[in-house]
């Protein structure tokens, strides 16, 4: 379904934040968001429905941490397949009556462990962990597996292998949150070179989460430069987080997220969405921006900074991690 929608040439709109949105709906620190698929399915479905009504073409399930290793923290590992099935069911319920196709993407986040030799988990063990989760998503009827917020090549490969074992199409995004690299040092160009060589390759490769919209669109520029024909995904946080006495507040406004959408498209993204802090109201502004936008020339870093604000975590000088700020810009 995702492949056929991409074949139309239209830029697709993915949804916004799940975790931060659930905190606004009663989730407390230390709770398992994935357990809410069972105990509060109405709240999960309502959140998905609001994103559908805002215009999302792709809904990510509430299953980011629904793998055995992360569920062990809540003594829920025996319910891995069940919670993933329920996550898909709740998302699917939100699309009923939409009157248009909406893709259900089964969210698959990291295991939470470092892989060997740095940590306790071998790559083959990680494959087994991901297969269990993806089997649950497939049983629930997910259209595609959405491997997200990754930082290590070995873990991406393990999740991709698991998707292939389960005969599921998949997409991959990493978080370039450390001076233009992932926490484990992957550059955008290296990610897309690696991912597009996988067998089978992902339907899309991109960036999510991270440290701000400017940094993420800079990563999109690097991804699309390295592989101009690839389907590039952009799913940025809603501005910059600020911790207050009332919780974490993200600085992004609907207007900023609309401009981010336009610039991400100009930079080469074929799928654009929001990550942490992105509400249905933000997504509605992004949908309007997507619908009214005619693709312009590729932006440079000066333009990104002028429109979206400064880089939060600039690359080290001349490390090759992304576009350079020009000394002078024409026009």
Q: Is the pLDDT of residue 225 over 90?
A: yes
Q: Tell me the helix, strand and coil percentages in the chain, rounded to 5.
A: 45, 15, 40
Task: CATH number of the domain at 97, please.
Answer: 3.20.20.330
Whether 271 is in a domain gets the answer yes
Name the average pLDDT for the chain. Answer: 94
Quote the pLDDT of residue 245.
Answer: 74
Mark 109-123 as b/e (b = at least 16 C-beta within 10 Å): bbbebbbeeeeebee
The pLDDT value recorded for residue 330 is: 27
Residue 266 domain flag: yes
128 inside domain? yes
Number of structural domains in the chain: 1
What is the reported pLDDT for 246?
72
At 73-122, the pLDDT tens digits run 999 999 999 999 999 999 999 999 999 999 999 999 999 999 999 999 99
Domain-located, residue 322 = no
Give the mean model confidence (pLDDT) for residues 246-251. Answer: 83
> Does residue 317 form part of some domain?
no
- For the whole model, what pTM was predicted? 0.94
pLDDT of residue 328: 27
DSSP readout, 64-92? Answer: TT-SHHHHGGGT-GGGHHHHHHHHHHHHH
**Signed CA dihedral, 305, 310, 312, 314: sign only:** positive
* Residue 319: per-residue pLDDT: 52
pLDDT tens per residue, range 254-298? 999 999 999 999 999 999 999 999 999 999 999 999 999 999 999
d(CA 117, CA 126): 13
Contact 228, 267 (CB under 8 A): no
When computed from its CA atoms, the radius of gyration of the chain, rounded to whole angstroms, is 18
Q: Is residue 122 part of a domain?
A: yes
CA distances from 247 to 16, 34, 177, 281, 310 (A): 19, 21, 21, 19, 24
Q: What percentage of the chain has pLDDT greater than the value 90?
A: 91
3-state SS, residue 233: strand
Q: What is the predicted pLDDT for the residue at 139?
A: 98
Whether 66 shows a pLDDT value over 70: the answer reads: yes
For residue 55, which of 24, 20, 99 has the smallest C-alpha distance?
99
- The answer to whether residue 216 is domain-embedded is yes
Q: Which domain holds residue 18?
A: 2-308
- Among 156-160, 200-204, 242-246, 305-309, which stretch is predicted with the lowest mean pLDDT? 242-246
Whole-number pLDDT of residue 124: 98
């Amino acid at each position: 379904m995702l492949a056929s929608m991409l074949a139309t040439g239209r830029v697709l709109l993915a949804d916004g934040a799940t975790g931060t949105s659930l905190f606004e709906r009663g989730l407390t620190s230390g709770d398992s968001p994935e357990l809410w698929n069972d105990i509060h399915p109405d709240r999960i479905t309502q959140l998905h429905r609001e994103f559908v009504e805002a215009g999302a073409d792709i809904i990510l399930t509430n299953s980011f941490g629904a793998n055995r290793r992360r569920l062990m923290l809540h003594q829920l590992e025996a319910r891995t397949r069940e919670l993933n099935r329920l996550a898909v069911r709740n998302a699917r319920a939100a699309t009923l009556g939409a009157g248009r196709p909406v893709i259900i993407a089964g969210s698959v986040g990291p295991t939470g462990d470092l892989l060997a030799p740095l940590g306790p988990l071998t790559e083959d063990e990680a494959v087994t962990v991901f297969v269990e989760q993806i089997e649950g998503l497939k049983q629930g009827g997910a259209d595609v597996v959405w491997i997200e917020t990754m930082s290590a090549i070995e873990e991406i490969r393990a999740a991709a292998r698991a998707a292939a074992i389960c005969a599921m199409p998949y997409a991959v995004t990493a978080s370039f949150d450390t001076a233009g690299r992932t926490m484990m040092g992957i550059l955008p160009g290296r990610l897309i070179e690696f991912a597009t060589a996988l067998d089978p390759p992902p339907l899309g490769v991109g960036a999510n989460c991270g440290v701000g919209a400017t940094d993420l669109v800079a990563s999109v520029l690097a991804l699309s430069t390295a592989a101009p024909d690839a389907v590039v995904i952009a799913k940025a946080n809603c501005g910059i987080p600020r911790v207050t006495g009332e919780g974490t507040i993200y600085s992004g406004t609907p207007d900023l997220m609309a401009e981010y959408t336009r610039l991400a498209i100009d930079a080469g993204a074929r799928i654009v969405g929001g990550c942490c802090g992105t509400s249905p109201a933000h997504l509605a502004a992004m949908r309007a921006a997507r619908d009214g936008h005619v693709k312009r020339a590729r932006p440079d870093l000066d333009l990104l900074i002028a429109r979206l604000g400064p880089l939060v975590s600039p690359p080290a000088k001349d490390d090759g991690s992304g576009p350079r700020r020009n000394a002078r810009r024409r026009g």
